[in-house]
Amino acid sequence: MTSQEQVLQRLFVHLGRLVRDKAAIHPDVDLVQELGLDSIEVMNMLMEIEDEFDISVPLNVLAEVRTPAQLAQAIFGLLEAGE
Amino acid sequence: MTLFDKFSKLAQDRASLIQDKQKSPFGTRIDQIYSPTEGRVGERRVVLAGTNNYLGLTFDPDCIAAARHALEEEGTGTTGSRMANGTYGSHWALEAELAEFFGRRSAMVFSTGYLANLGTIGTLAGPEDIVLLDADCHASIYDACRMGGSQGIRFRHNDAADMEKRLRRLGDRARDTLIVVEGIYSMLGDQAPLADIADVKRRLGGFLMVDEAHSVGVLGEHGRGLAEAAGVEADVDMIVGTFSKSLGAIGGFAVSQHPELDLLRYASRPYIFTASSSPSSIASVRAALKVMQARPELRQRLWDNAGRLYSGLAALGYSLGPQLGPVVAVTLGSPQEGVAFWNALIENGVYVNLVLPPASPGGQALVRVSVSAAHSFEQIDRIIEAFDRLRPLVAGGEQAPAQLVEGEASAG
Listing DSSP states for B20-64 in one string gives TTSPPSTT----EEEETTEEEETTEEEEE-SS--TT-GGG-HHHH
What per-residue confidence (pLDDT) applies to A1? 67
Q: Which residue of B has its CA nearest to A33?
A: B9
Model confidence pLDDT, tens digit, residues A12-21: 999 999 998 8
**Would the pLDDT of A83 be above 80?**
no
How many angstroms separate the CA atoms of A64 and B295, rounded?
51
What count of residues does chain A have? 83
pLDDT band at residue B411 under the 50/70/90 scheme: very low
Model confidence pLDDT, tens digit, residues B169-183: 999 999 999 999 999
Mean pLDDT of chain A: 93
Q: How large is the average pLDDT for residues B136-159?
A: 97
Answer yes or no: do B358 and A40 touch at CB < 8 A: yes
Half-sphere exposure of B122 (CA within 13 A, CB side): 19
Which of A68, A61, A75 lies closest to A12, judged by CA?
Answer: A68
Radius of gyration over every alpha carbon of chain A, rounded to an integer in angstroms:
12
* Interface probe with B: pick from A30, A50, A59, most Cβ of B within 10 Å: A59
What per-residue confidence (pLDDT) applies to B82? 96
Decide if the complex's ipTM is over 0.85.
yes
Which of B108, B85, B152 lies closest to B260, judged by CA?
Answer: B108
What per-residue confidence (pLDDT) applies to B398? 45
**Would the pLDDT of B399 be above 90?**
no
Tell me which chain A residues have a C-beta less than 8 angstroms from the C-beta of B150.
60
pLDDT higher at B11 or B388: B388
Q: How far is B108 from chain A (nearest CA, A)?
A: 28
Model confidence pLDDT, tens digit, residues B295-309: 999 999 999 999 999
